[in-house]
Chain A
Amino acid sequence: MSGSTIETLRRMANQIARNFEIMGHVDAVEATADHINMFWDPRMKKQIFGDGGQDLSPIAKAAIEELAQGEIPAHQTRATEFNAVDDIGQSDAG
């Protein structure tokens, strides 16, 4: 069932967007963009930026467009807030 890399990236972006959808469109777009910005390798971002939004849900597409324009979204969840250099507060141990 493995598709091409771009198909995988589209699926990932859509899945993230779908799980944030409950937040409402505007917040979900920001959360999706924030998530991708913090966790994706630059090559993955570049590849999906150049894909023209094909097969993306409205939320995912808007998030990708925002990132492609160079905007850095504010952190929307604590999952994307990380410890400062001298901070012990958080762990995201798997």
Chain B
Amino acid sequence: MGYERQKDFGTPRVKSEKHVTLTIDGRAVTVPEGTTVMRAASEIGSSIPKLCATDNLKQFGSCRLCLVEIEGARGTPASCTTPAAEGMVVKTQTPRLDKLRKGVMELYISDHPLDCLTCSANNDCELQDQAAAVGLRDVRYGYEGANHLAEPTDHSNPYFDFDPSKCIVCSRCVRACDEVQGTFALTIDGRGFGSEVSAGQTLDNFMSSECVSCGACVQACPTATLQEKSVKKIGKPERAVVTTCAYCGVGCTFRAEMRGEQLVRMVPYKDGKANRGHSCVKGRFAWGYANHQDRITRPMVRDNIDQPWREVSWEEALSFSANKLNQIKRDHGARALGGITSSRCTNEETFLVQKLIRGGFGSNNVDTCARVCHSPTGYGLKTTFGTSAGTQDFDSVEDSDVILVIGANPTDGHPVFGSRMKQRLRQGAKLIVIDPRRIDLVKSPHIKAAHHLPLQPGTNVALLTAMAHVIVSEGLADEEFIRTRCDWDEYQDWARFVSQDKNSPEVLEGVTRVPAQSVREAARLYATGGNGAIYYGLGVTEHSQGSSTVMAIANLAMVTGNIGRKGVGVNPLRGQNNVQGACDMGSFPHELPGYRHISDADTRALFEKDWGVTLDPDPGFRINNMLDAAVDGEFRAIYIQGEDILQSDPNTQHVAAGLEAMELVIVHDLFLNETANYAHVFLPGSTFLEKNGTFTNAERRIQPVRKVMEPANGMEDWEVTQALANALGLGWSYTHPSEILDEIARLTPSFAGVSWDRLEREDSLQWPVNEEFPDGAPVMHVDGFVRGKGKFVVTDYVPTDEKTGPRFPLLLTTGRILSQYNVGAQTRRTANVEWHPEDLLEMHPSDAENRGLNDGDWTTLKSRTGETTLRVKVTDRVAPGVVYTTFHHPATQANVVTTDFSDWATNCPEYKVTAVQVMPSNGPSDWQEEYTDLSQKSRRIAGEMEPAE
């Protein structure tokens, strides 16, 4: 599409069963009751002048520009605050209104710089548009009086400027920060003529304030007061392409606004069904990595990892790879080969990688990063509900009365959904947080959790079982739901188990360290507070009982009847953008796309016929087993697309040993990541801006990813995989990802009704999309579980083998922070490092004092696996005995410390529980120094200057 601003109806859409009909400028219009006159006029294309109104904020009525005349009414009411009424007759253009609007506009312009020609918002400015709309031709007051034109610009934020000289004090930015984002970082300081927008306290600027740089204020600003630096630098966009964000599992829709081949800005798309027009600092601003100087755009090879890289042609890199793969296959068999698909890549790319490994390499050694994040969700929800996908869409939260967040930090990990959740909480929904840390949601402006249960890491199952004990023993179970929807005999077995005294909150308090009374009150609230919705993240899954915890969550939802309608459900918050899709596409070693086991002859026959190959009937290795087998010499070659397992997977030394033992490591990525230190072939990748395809978000929503610029490396990632396949003689001939999507639809029943053309028309579809659900399924299990009855599963608490003791007395838990994403490969290469330049170790003041540590001191963090150094942040956000860090920076490598312990069912690593000791340090650990040397040596490229000492 060409460039035009997104349609703005002025005030929000109103949901109402009743409708009213009114007449505006002689035209009849019917709207839901409660709709404003401004919105009703906009619905029929009559745009009433406005400045303080915008349709994602509540009506405010301050600018007085949207005045209208209403028959029988006195005066000239503001259309943005006047509800439409049956039979109302409205005029939006009269001589009287013209005069009033001109007078209002004249006052605004008398205190506004007249620099339109050199202003970055020229021709893209609502103030300019409205001045033209009201026909303002002169300002009778002159410009010599008191004004704000000399106010200095705040350049502190790396992505946008705040120029108060252009501010009209419409409060849209303040209201966006309050109503949409929920941070309340901005305010109007002063009164009358002295009123001005202020971030934080008097001496604050934007960067030092509470601002989280979500961009909502910039989007709301009708002038150039809050403006992206990129617009100032590049100029006004000339076209916009709607695409899907490549960060977290929320899957926000954005307009990539372009000027030529240059991306000017990413603006949240108001019609995006996952984000409803909102964004976070990552999706909105942190896309500069796409053009970062570290980006590798030419293929490279080397015979061994001690050598510098050698830039080669695509042909040479592909034939080098194919020859080695063929040789290893001849010498050691197909099962010595494998690969890893990426949850950051598209469905089509992921599908092709697993197809290459199964059909080309000839083994089922394919795994994906979901192994280390949400694989227990798969196991747990499939066992209990019969299908493991999240049960709701994001809109569902608007109907929740009680929100239970366990092991997730939505305001940091899934910030756009976190903001929507906060909107609902501010409307009055109750909040229960189960987390060892006091996450921001527990207490933030206008939000206070009814209960925060700060449990000991590793005791999720015990705590949830204690809650179930309360619900069953106090008669709070929804027996009608259970009898209708679940297996009654299994429920009775489970109810007997949870009712035992050993599972009471009082007995388990010794395990969880959560006061029994708090557990009882939280359980009662969840069971009796109306629509109860559970949202969870990796604090649930990344444990030795991750799968059991997911089943315990499902048990709670079933016993209270909180399944199958809006406002309830069990909602896994997926970490990466396409975790759901990567799994749908057959990325696990035991199953083909559509969750069909590899041992099923009929399923194999379907794929064998379509692909013209013979498939191995046995499951392959999971990632951790691939690494073990590599050390044993049984696994020798790996193709890794878009993953950095050396930094992201646990026990770094073991990952390194596995990679080092392999004869061929092919890394297909944007950057020479940490895994590439052990690689022999580097195939340059393309960013989400440079490719077509689809992502599937945490709501099962399949959304298009559209190419906005040509790939810097010359090929989209699916083309690279196809080229590798063809170097192996597979003869693939896809010309566009839509053809791959057609193949997926042909072979995968839940995608049967999905096509590129349909996504172009409908923007997104939530699977399953087939004969039974031709338009997809926003909420699952509405009239019954998709497959049979709901099953209650007895979840016995089994303590982790990772124990604290005199040598390792503290428990380390890990997580992520708002400004950074996963291993930081993208966000570390943006200005987001200004918020988080290094990983820090959070420690309770009492633990810090016992060790003589002060805020900012360097510490050694040591476990049974390894040690690293990082600086300490003293905070009571963590409980005594618990420390916390992030894993965004390779210089820290938190995973040097984490262990091989993993979920019993899926081998998802136990990142959240590691016994550690912390002590003062003078500098980097031996491992860090050695790794820094290796890393520098390994990144040498022949012909490039050596870095200066």
**Are the C-beta atoms of A93 and B654 separated by less than 8 Å?**
no
CA distance A92 to B629 in the complex (A): 25
**Are the C-beta atoms of A93 and B791 separated by less than 8 Å?**
no
Given contacts A42-B618, A90-B386, contact A82 B379 (CB under 8 A): no
| Residues from 23 to 70 in A contacting B, C-beta threshold 8 Å | 23, 35, 38-44
Residues of A within 8 A of B368 (CB): 94
Give, as a whole number of angstroms, the nearest-CB distance from A62 to chain B. Answer: 17
| B132 CB–A CB distance under 8 Å | no
**Are the C-beta atoms of B379 and A92 separated by less than 8 Å?**
yes
Residues of B within 8 A of A15 (CB): 544, 904
**Are the C-beta atoms of B387 and A89 separated by less than 8 Å?**
yes
Residues of B within 8 A of A84 (CB): 596, 600, 602-603
**Are the C-beta atoms of B335 and A19 separated by less than 8 Å?**
no
| Residues from 330 to 389 in B contacting A, C-beta threshold 8 Å | 335, 365, 368, 370-371, 373-379, 382-384, 386-389
Q: Residue B900 contacts which of A1, A18, A35 (CB distance < 8 angstroms)?
A: A1
Interface string of B157-199 (1 = CB under 8 A from A): 0000000000000000000000000000000000000000000
Give, as a whole number of angstroms, the nearest-CB distance from A76 to chain B. Answer: 10
**Are the C-beta atoms of B602 and A5 separated by less than 8 Å?**
no
CA distance A90 to B628 in the complex (A): 30
Give, as a whole number of angstroms, the nearest-CB distance from B900 to chain A. Answer: 6
CA distance A94 to B791 in the complex (A): 19
Nearest-CB residue, chain A, relative to B607:
A85
| B632 CB–A CB distance under 8 Å | yes
Q: Could you list some 18 contacts between A and B, CB below 8 A?
A: A1-B651, A1-B899, A8-B628, A16-B904, A16-B905, A43-B335, A44-B621, A44-B625, A83-B594, A84-B602, A85-B602, A87-B596, A89-B786, A91-B583, A92-B595, A93-B370, A94-B371, A94-B588
| B411 CB–A CB distance under 8 Å | no
- Please report A residues at the B interface, Cβ cutoff 8 Å: 1-2, 5, 8, 11-12, 15-16, 18-19, 21-23, 35, 38-44, 77-79, 82-94
Q: Residue B579 contacts which of A44, A85, A88, A94 (CB distance < 8 angstroms)?
A: A94
**Are the C-beta atoms of B602 and A12 separated by less than 8 Å?**
no
Residues of A within 8 A of B605 (CB): 85
- Please report B residues at the A interface, Cβ cutoff 8 Å: 335, 365, 368, 370-371, 373-379, 382-384, 386-389, 497, 544-545, 548, 579-580, 583-584, 588-591, 594-597, 599-600, 602-603, 605-606, 618-621, 624-625, 628-629, 631-632, 634, 651, 653-654, 657, 749-750, 768, 770, 772, 786-787, 791, 793-794, 796, 798, 801, 864-865, 899-900, 904-908
Residues of B within 8 A of A87 (CB): 596, 749
* A-B CB pair tally, cutoff 8 Å: 152
Nearest-CB residue, chain A, relative to B544:
A15
Give, as a whole number of angstroms, the nearest-CB distance from B853 to chain A. Answer: 26
**Are the C-beta atoms of B374 and A94 separated by less than 8 Å?**
yes
**Are the C-beta atoms of A88 and B750 separated by less than 8 Å?**
yes
Residues of B within 8 A of A89 (CB): 386-387, 786-787
CA distance A22 to B591 in the complex (A): 28
Give, as a whole number of angstroms, the nearest-CB distance from A2 to chain B. Answer: 4
8 more contacts with CB within 8 A, not counting A77-B793, A85-B602, are A2-B657, A12-B907, A22-B794, A22-B796, A88-B770, A92-B382, A94-B579, A94-B588
**Are the C-beta atoms of B591 and A82 separated by less than 8 Å?**
yes
Given contacts A5-B631, A41-B625, A91-B389, contact A19 B651 (CB under 8 A): no
